[in-house]
Every structure is written in C-alpha cells, then in structure tokens.
Structure 1
C-alpha cells in the first residue's frame, strides 16, 4: 500500500434530496450525450417531412436533418461537485449544465437539492443550489431534447401536423 492509498479521502454517495455543507470545488468536467427517444424523433421527423414535401412543391428550401442526427441528441456538460458536511464527510454530486464561475467559491456554505439519476451507479444530480454565504439561488441550465431539434424543425413539424390534420378532416368530411 502506498502513501496515496493511506491518505485517500473517502467520497460518499448521498441519498437525501437535500445536502448542506461547504463547497470544496468543481472537479474536471466532461460531456455526456442525451439520446432522444425513437418515438419522439420519428414523430417529429415524419411531421416535418410532410411540411418539407409541401415546401418542395412550392419551391421553398427546407432545413433537412436525418433521423440519425435527431436521435443523437444534445451533449451537455457534466461537472462533479464536492461538498463537505459539518461531520467532515465529503460528498460528490454531479452538476449537469453550467453555472457562472463566480457563483461559488471554495468554502462557501451551500444547500443543494439533488435528484437520483436513472443509472444507479452515478452520483445524485444537482437540481438547485443556494449559496447560503451570499443567499443566491442558482439553477444550472442544460440543453433539452426540444432545443436540440431546433425551432425551425419543430415549426416544420407543427405545419406538417396541421397539413396532415387538414387532409384527414377533408377526407373524413
């Protein structure tokens, strides 16, 4: 056993939804991809395709993305955050998205609201943090499936649904 094993700090996984402690710092960040579910991606793709076909007849230039590109989903930043409670225990939680760098300083007293992740091997996810030193509430922002698809594609899908609904109503009526 070497010296690093003797002095290695034990990191705990917290199960309570609220953690109060001192902010120790951010660890190295990395990106993680969110997959878009096949039914959602397929529905948007087909509905947008209807609008694109009508646009092609009217010689409008559609924005075209493949189903594979839609399914890939957005990437978001994951930053492990370490806190130490009053008992001296260190906890690691994951922050998805970004916060302003000046929002938290080492040693600040913080209260963190967490949520378990779908993968039980991952630490809990930070939902909101209140810096009790400055009394500033903070919420990290992450991209969503809808922001990944983009307003142009979602607008095309809405037009496609309206066209399909109109054709279906005309056919049935």
Structure 2
C-alpha cells in the first residue's frame, strides 16, 4: 500500500492528485447541498452535461493515466506524462460524456423567469393586489397554475386573459395586467 501512496504523491501523479482531492471536496459539498449541478460545460467540447461532472471525469481520468504512466514510462519520459495524460483524459472524457448527455436533455431546466411575457388565463374568482391564480402554458406546451397579482387599478375575473409582465422573487408571485389576445 505504501508503494501506491508513493506513486500517487510522487511526480508526476501528484499534480493530478491534488486536483483529485479538490474534486472529492467538491462532490462532498454537492452532497451536503452547498453547490448545485446546474451549470453547463460547453467549453472544450464538454457541453450537454453539468460542469462538475465534466471536470470530475477529466481530472479522474488524467490522474489515472498519469499514475499508469508513472509506473510504465522510463524516468526520462516522466516530464511529458502530465501533458500526455491531460490530452488523453480530454479524449476519454469527451467519449464518456456522449452517453451521459442523454441523462441531461437540453431545456430540461425551467425557471419562473421563463414565464414572464407569456399570456395566461385567470382561474380564481378575481385577481387583486393581494390574491389570485392563473393558468399559463410554457413553450413546451406544459401548463401550470401560478400565483398572480395585479397593480392597484387592474381587476381581473375568472376567465379573463392577462399578460405576465414581472416575477416578484420575494413574494413568489407574478405580476399580471389585462391582455386582449387569443390564447
């Protein structure tokens, strides 16, 4: 076992060992809930999956290739091992991400801001500055009933058409105004 630690902490593997420790710390933070997996990684051909997954695979594969290289390469070639491992890891990671992209379809993440600018139909008896609900359809055709409010002078009734013009993050509702159009 000490031979493994010597190889993992010796040159050239140590370069990627420290990065691998950072990746493990990142995943612990994700598990605890400090970070989310919501940022895409379009750079270097890693698009379609969260950046945390792409970087983790890249570092893990580079570490493994460097560890193997440190055991099979002659001492004279060890200086080139990190660069060769990084290039090989990039190729392997790109290949591994192809099937993973199916697990992260494009447009799968929606936010409330996506509904701003969309028409809706009032579903409660009335919408006032303090109360109301409306049904809104998103671009993919799915519908949702959302909390809506009007400004002081506007009063909307069940079945009226309205336009969502803003989202209030603090109150977690949408501001709407009367809208004359076919929905």
TM range, smaller chain: under 0.3
Higher helix share: 2
TM-score (norm 1): 0.21
- Higher RCO structure (Cα 8 Å, ≥6 apart): 1
Higher strand share: 1
TM-score (norm 2): 0.20
Structure of higher CA gyration radius? 2
